[in-house]
């Protein structure tokens, strides 16, 4: 039987591309996109859409019943930089939306959940290089606290109520179709836009700030592969470390200069530097590789080529 999918937060950076790919794979009509606002024209034209607030349980339940939804991808969230400015709103959105979908699954109204965690679950006391799956976490940001709590609740609902919830800790995500908003890793997307428009970029992180990053195609593939894996392979029910590449703003600038030799970068670190400094520099994702076969395919230079080619069009 064909499964039906609901995406909450379908108009964001990840949600948009996930919607396209899930529709490619399973058919437009079986994937319902939803968000608190409408998305871009091509997203809106690509299949069913519902205006939906992810913090409203009854509203989600109505849509789940109406479309007989089996799987929910919860992509609505407030990211790290914005969350520092609005701690209460961030906690409310990030936690209540998760409880809503976990409770729908507990009530057997849906059968599977994807919920993204982040490298932000780690904190200043975590080993920075090759950060293991299991390490001291102690996140020091509002966003990281919400993600770590979310991970604990996912595992709890799995162990206690048998909820099939699956998750990865995304690194910073680089994409050209939809801009990120309010994140600390957003520089790695803005830089390509400004390299093409202005030939220069002022970076809000220092030149040596090394962070784990990933090209969006890899992130979407990881998400879909995780969701398609047989249940018995998914032994981590909090969230899997997921790695691909790590680089500094300076290294990214050099990668761009191989295409745009005159490109100039300057550094003006702001409050986001403290957030970035609390996160890992690189990630050990061997459990994801071993348990469900994860393997990244884009490195920094391939990402740069893809970004510049697509943004030029």
Residue ranges binding ligand SER (CB under 6 A): 79-80, 118, 120, 143, 170, 172, 183-185
The residue assigned the tokens 């990865």 is 168
Residue nearest to ligand SER (CB): 183
State in angstroms the smallest separation of the CB of 170 from ligand SER.
6
Nearest to 203 by CA among 244, 158, 164, 253: 253
Structure tokens at 273: 């530097």
Instruction: Say whether 98 sits in a helix, a strand or coil.
Output: helix
Strand order in the sheet with 117-118: 117-118, 168-170, 240-241
Tell me the closest approach of the beta carbon of residue 63 to ligand SER, in angstroms.
26
Q: Select 120 or 195, whichever has its Cβ closest to ligand SER.
A: 120
Alpha-carbon distances of 176 from 53, 157, 280, rounded to whole Å: 26, 35, 24
Write the CA distances from 43 to 36, 49, 181, 222, integer angstroms. 14, 9, 18, 21
Calpha distance 208→193 (Å, rounded)? 21
Output the smallest distance, CB 85 to ligand SER, in A: 12
- Least distance in Å: CB of 122 to ligand SER? 11
Look up 157 and say whether it is catalytic: no
What CA–CA distances, in Å, run from 276 to 67, 96, 171? Answer: 41, 26, 12
Closer CB to ligand SER, 123 or 183, in the complex:
183
Contact status, residue 52 vs residue 104, Cβ threshold 8 Å: no
Give the integer Cα–Cα distance in Å for 26 and 4. 9
Q: How far is the CB of 169 from ligand SER (least distance, A)?
A: 8
Cβ proximity to ligand SER, 185 vs 241, nearer residue: 185
Catalytic entry in 143, 157, 187, 192? 143
Given the complex with ligand SER, which of 175 and 304 has the nearer CB atom? Answer: 175
List active site positions: 143
């Amino acid at each position: 039987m064909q499964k039906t999918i609901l995406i909450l937060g379908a108009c964001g950076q990840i949600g948009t591309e996930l919607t396209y790919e899930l529709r490619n794979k399973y058919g437009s009509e079986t994937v319902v996109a939803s968000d608190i606002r409408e998305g871009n024209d091509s997203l809106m034209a690509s299949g069913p859409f519902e205006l939906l607030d992810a913090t409203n349980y009854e509203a989600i339940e109505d849509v789940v019943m109406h479309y007989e939804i089996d799987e929910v991808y919860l992509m609505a969230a407030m990211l790290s930089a914005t969350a520092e400015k609005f701690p209460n709103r961030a906690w409310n959105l990030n936690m209540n939306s998760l409880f809503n979908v976990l409770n729908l699954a507990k009530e057997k109204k849906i059968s599977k959940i994807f919920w993204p965690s982040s490298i932000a679950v780690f904190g200043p006391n975590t080993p920075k290089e090759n950060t293991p799956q299991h390490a001291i976490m102690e996140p020091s940001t509002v966003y990281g606290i919400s993600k770590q709590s979310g991970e604990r609740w996912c595992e709890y609902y799995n162990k206690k109520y048998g909820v099939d919830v699956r998750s990865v800790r995304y690194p910073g995500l680089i994409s050209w179709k939809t801009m990120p908003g309010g994140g600390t890793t957003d520089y790695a997307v803005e830089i390509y836009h400004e390299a093409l428009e202005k030939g220069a970029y002022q970076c809000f992180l220092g030149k040596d700030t090394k962070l784990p990053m990933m090209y969006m195609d890899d992130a979407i593939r990881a998400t879909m592969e995780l969701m398609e894996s047989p249940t018995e392979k998914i032994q981590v029910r909090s969230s899997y470390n997921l790695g691909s590449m790590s680089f500094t703003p300076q290294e990214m600038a050099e990668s761009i200069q191989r295409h745009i030799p005159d490109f100039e970068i300057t550094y003006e670190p702001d409050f986001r530097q403290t957030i970035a400094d609390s996160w890992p520099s690189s990630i050990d994702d061997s459990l994801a590789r071993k348990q469900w076969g994860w393997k990244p395919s884009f490195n920094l230079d391939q990402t740069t080529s893809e970004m510049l080619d697509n943004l030029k069009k």
